[in-house]
A and B are shown apart, each in its own frame.
Chain A
Amino acid sequence: MEPQSLAFRERAARALADPVLETALRRLETGWQEGRTRAAAALPEFEALRDAAVAIKNHVLANLDLYLEIFEERFRAAGGVVHWARDAAEARAIALEICRAVGAKTVTKSKSMVAEEIGLNPFLEANGLRVVETDLGEYIVQLAGEVPSHLVGPAVHMTRERIAELFARHHGGPPKEDSAALVAEARRVLRQRYLEAEVGITGANFLVAETGSVVTVTNEGNAELTQGLPRVHLVITSIEKLVPTVEDAFTLLRLLARSATGQEFSGYTTFLTGPARPGDRDGPKEMHLVLLDNGRSAMVGGPFREMLRCIRCGACMNHCPVYLAVGGHAYGWVYVGPMGSVLTPQFAGLERTWTLPHASTFCGRCQEVCPVRIPLPKLMRLWREEAHRRHLPPPTARFGLSAWGFLARRPALYRLATRLAAAGLGLLGRRRGRFSRLPLAAGWTASRDFPVPSGPTFRALWRTRGRP
């Protein structure tokens, strides 16, 4: 998928004018945001778990080469096949080859952000395969011809009425009124697809080196039917998902659902180790796993390394004032919210996405709630600096920033400038006490007045009153 991130400003403006989206996004605040607060408060060990999770992920990243080798060896010993892919094109080609080898016509797919990242669906479809998403949210988004707008809830931007319309159009019959009827309808339709599919594709939440296992997490149970019914199970995942042991996976799992939706634990957590064994009466005959790099190995030794700790819980977006105002589609690519603003420039190139790290107020809530304590504001700032260095933002913005930087690094000059500005503005606005228009500050005065400075500057006050 081509990133549309340069149009962030326009897409965000459209989103802000959309009352339906506003209602949909408000549900995230009352649902998942408050849910996380409650779940964290109900578990006294929550902060200790976060520290432990950071240590696990850091340890894996510092030894990623060894853990990948051990995982590969044990996954293979269990009867699975590992395929390595340097980039999206390699990963797509491997997936297609696996589907073709069994003469697949229908492929079911449980939600996988890595599959979104590599644009798997359009590629398989262009090659004559029918791809059916089974996560309900992802299925809805697929019917609408859209992309996910949230890591955990791909269809959070949709209303029930819109979903009812979509279902009526694609499944026939009149639009249904209540969610229970819609869920039952999706269940009935997708049941047939599960049974038809020759290949089932899932992602992986974790890969366990100790046992060579793949861990999937869902609430619907769709991953188990996706991988359990077809002849071939294909896992599409990436190299940073490794954890050393099953115990380590449990530490991260205790954080995942609580951070994501505020649940104590997700409905279904499954550890899969290889395909069906002799005597097994169900399970796939073959199990393949694509290990995608796509720029991650370059992050291992660089300033964005900490981003590789991400477990894709979505807490950063559920708590982001920018995301909650504009929704996921404004970001213009697969990964959205604060985590997306750090990852997207890495995967899709800063030239086409430099706007995203600017889409933040740096309020810091994302870092506060991140279960693996990723310093998201710091990482976004690194991208901003890089964008500035590479002259990507427009000249006016760069000039303004440079001028401010020049002043801010010279305290005496800064003091003088702010004093003059405060005095000048105070004089000019003496009569009305406010400005309804100011040069260079149209963004502020377009929707509210600018108050007239009423006395000495903050720095002057600080000096006379001293530290509190």
Chain B
Amino acid sequence: MSEAREAILARIRTALGRTAEARAAAAAEIGARLAAPRPGPLPSRAAVAGEERIALFGRMARAVGAEVQRLSGPDGIRDAVVEFLRRHNLPARLVRAADPLLDAAGLEADPLLEVRTGVPAEPDPVGLTVALAGIAETGTLLLASAAERPTLLAFLPETSIVVLPTAALVGTYEEAWARLRGRPGFPPRSVNLITGPSRTGDIPPSIELGAHGPRRLLVLLVDEARPVES
């Protein structure tokens, strides 16, 4: 289909009235723009730090139906997970990412919890993974795929639990993306920005949760945890 390619590009070049000179000049300008991406207008509400940023993240995430819990350290993860599953009357069975932070949480040591590491399959009820960043602006999580962190963990199971190191909390999407730039394998195959549980308004009159993705989202904001790969 390269014939189609040439035809489409030729039509565009004709429409733009491109000369070789103009094209070279434009190419240089675009090269510079792509090499040093500049953010657009940033919401002033996101220009907060420390506890204020944590509070904004929590407020925005809860407003779209996520549950947010703050833990003082990774050793609180296990109890928080178990308590959450019990409170929602969910099976104590989960699939998790092979992430060092979760390795250290000692979930497997809990005799009442059935834990598997890897890719979730239907009908695994609970997925547990780690976010690379949290974005206070809209209470959004940034997840990135990797061999040890399958994307489906946050999409296939009906309940999604995401661990977010407090140190990985930023103000804006741009700051979150900046944490990815320069890492090996950038950009990751799949970067998911997740804001609350899955929802639909397609069947009136109400907004319903759990249309295809998770019906419940629990964010565990963990102090004194090292952000992923940083």
Chain B residue contacts of A78, Cβ below 8 A: 189
Q: What is the minimal beta-carbon distance from B147 to any residue of chain A, in angstroms?
A: 4
Interface assignment of B208: CB less than 8 Å from any CB of chain A: yes
Which residues A167-222 have CB closer than 8 A to chain B? 179-180, 182-184, 186-187, 190-191, 195, 209-211, 213, 219-222
Interface assignment of A125: CB less than 8 Å from any CB of chain B: no
Instruction: Report the separation of the CA atoms of residues A269 and B147 in the bound assembly, to the nearest whole angstrom.
Output: 21
Q: What is the minimal beta-carbon distance from A29 to any residue of chain B, in angstroms?
A: 14
| Cβ-neighbour of B203 out of A85, A179, A253, A268 (below 8 A) | A179
B189 touches A283 (CB 8 A): yes
Interface assignment of B111: CB less than 8 Å from any CB of chain A: no
Interface assignment of A14: CB less than 8 Å from any CB of chain B: no
0 or 1 for each of A44-73: is its CB under 8 Å from B? (1 = yes): 110011001100100000111111111000
Of A241-249, A345-353, A429-437, the one contacting chain B is A241-249
Interface assignment of A136: CB less than 8 Å from any CB of chain B: yes
0 or 1 for each of B194-209: is its CB under 8 Å from A? (1 = yes): 1111111111111010
Interface assignment of B27: CB less than 8 Å from any CB of chain A: yes
0 or 1 for each of B54-66: is its CB under 8 Å from A? (1 = yes): 0000001001100
Of B6-14, B83-91, B101-109, B219-227, the one contacting chain A is B6-14
Of A153-161, A317-325, A373-381, the one contacting chain B is A153-161
A283 touches B194 (CB 8 A): no
Chain B residue contacts of A439, Cβ below 8 A: none
B147 touches A183 (CB 8 A): no
Interface assignment of A31: CB less than 8 Å from any CB of chain B: yes
A268 touches B187 (CB 8 A): no
B208 touches A228 (CB 8 A): no
Interface assignment of A144: CB less than 8 Å from any CB of chain B: no
Interface assignment of B40: CB less than 8 Å from any CB of chain A: yes
| Cβ-neighbour of B151 out of A153, A160, A224, A250 (below 8 A) | A224
| Cβ-neighbour of A160 out of B11, B41, B203 (below 8 A) | B203
Which residues B21-60 have CB closer than 8 A to chain A? 23, 26-27, 30, 33-34, 37-45, 60
Interface assignment of A327: CB less than 8 Å from any CB of chain B: no
| Cβ-neighbour of A283 out of B43, B151, B185, B211 (below 8 A) | B151
Q: A65-B9, A301-B17 are in contact. Are A265 and B138 (CB under 8 A)?
A: yes
Q: A49-B41, A65-B18, A267-B194 are in contact. Are A282 and B30 (CB under 8 A)?
A: no
Interface assignment of A280: CB less than 8 Å from any CB of chain B: yes
Q: What is the minimal beta-carbon distance from A398 to any residue of chain B, in angstroms?
A: 31
Interface assignment of A16: CB less than 8 Å from any CB of chain B: no
B199 touches A271 (CB 8 A): no
B199 touches A270 (CB 8 A): no
Instruction: Report the separation of the CA atoms of residues A190 and B192 in the bound assembly, to the nearest whole angstrom.
Output: 22
Q: A84-B4, A86-B8, A265-B138 are in contact. Are A52 and B40 (CB under 8 A)?
A: yes
B33 touches A48 (CB 8 A): no
Q: A179-B206, A222-B211 are in contact. Are A63 and B43 (CB under 8 A)?
A: no
A300 touches B187 (CB 8 A): no
A24 touches B204 (CB 8 A): yes
Q: A45-B44, A90-B1, A301-B17 are in contact. Are A245 and B191 (CB under 8 A)?
A: no
Chain B residue contacts of A254, Cβ below 8 A: 40, 43
B193 touches A136 (CB 8 A): no
Interface assignment of B114: CB less than 8 Å from any CB of chain A: no
Q: A220-B200, A273-B189 are in contact. Are A64 and B41 (CB under 8 A)?
A: no
Count of chain A residues near B, Cβ 8 A: 99
A273 touches B187 (CB 8 A): yes
Interface assignment of A94: CB less than 8 Å from any CB of chain B: yes
Instruction: Report the separation of the CA atoms of residues A265 and B46 in the bound assembly, to the nearest whole angstrom.
Output: 14
B11 touches A297 (CB 8 A): yes
Q: What is the minimal beta-carbon distance from B61 to any residue of chain A, in angstroms?
A: 11
Closest chain B residue, CB of each to CB of A83: B1
Closest chain A residue, CB of each to CB of B8: A293
Q: What is the minimal beta-carbon distance from A468 to any residue of chain B, in angstroms?
A: 38
B174 touches A281 (CB 8 A): no
Interface assignment of B16: CB less than 8 Å from any CB of chain A: yes
Which residues A231-266 have CB closer than 8 A to chain B? 239, 244-248, 250-251, 253-254, 261, 263-266
Q: What is the minimal beta-carbon distance from A352 to any residue of chain B, in angstroms?
A: 23
Instruction: Report the separation of the CA atoms of residues A211 and B186 in the bound assembly, to the nearest whole angstrom.
Output: 9
A159 touches B30 (CB 8 A): no
| Cβ-neighbour of B26 out of A63, A86, A245, A248 (below 8 A) | A63
| Cβ-neighbour of B198 out of A66, A86, A220 (below 8 A) | A220
| Cβ-neighbour of A267 out of B40, B185, B196 (below 8 A) | B196
A45 touches B42 (CB 8 A): yes
Interface assignment of B214: CB less than 8 Å from any CB of chain A: yes
Q: What is the minimal beta-carbon distance from A42 to any residue of chain B, in angstroms?
A: 9
Chain A residue contacts of B183, Cβ below 8 A: none
A219 touches B9 (CB 8 A): no
B152 touches A282 (CB 8 A): yes
Q: What is the minimal beta-carbon distance from B126 to any residue of chain A, in angstroms?
A: 16
Instruction: Report the separation of the CA atoms of residues A44 and B46 in the bound assembly, to the nearest whole angstrom.
Output: 12
Chain A residue contacts of B15, Cβ below 8 A: 297-298, 300-302
Known contacts A183-B211, A213-B187; 5 further A-B pairs (Cβ under 8 A) = A66-B27, A85-B4, A221-B212, A250-B39, A264-B60
Between-chain CB contacts (< 8 Å), 12 pairs: A24-B204, A62-B16, A221-B213, A222-B211, A265-B137, A267-B197, A271-B190, A272-B189, A273-B190, A277-B185, A282-B150, A302-B15
Q: Which 3 A-B residue pairings sit nearest by Cβ, starting from the closest?
A: A221-B213, A301-B15, A251-B40
Q: Which B residues contact A (CB, under 8 angstroms)?
A: 1-2, 4-5, 7-9, 11-18, 23, 26-27, 30, 33-34, 37-45, 60, 63-64, 118-119, 122, 137-138, 140, 145-147, 150-152, 155-156, 172-174, 177, 185, 187-206, 208, 210-214
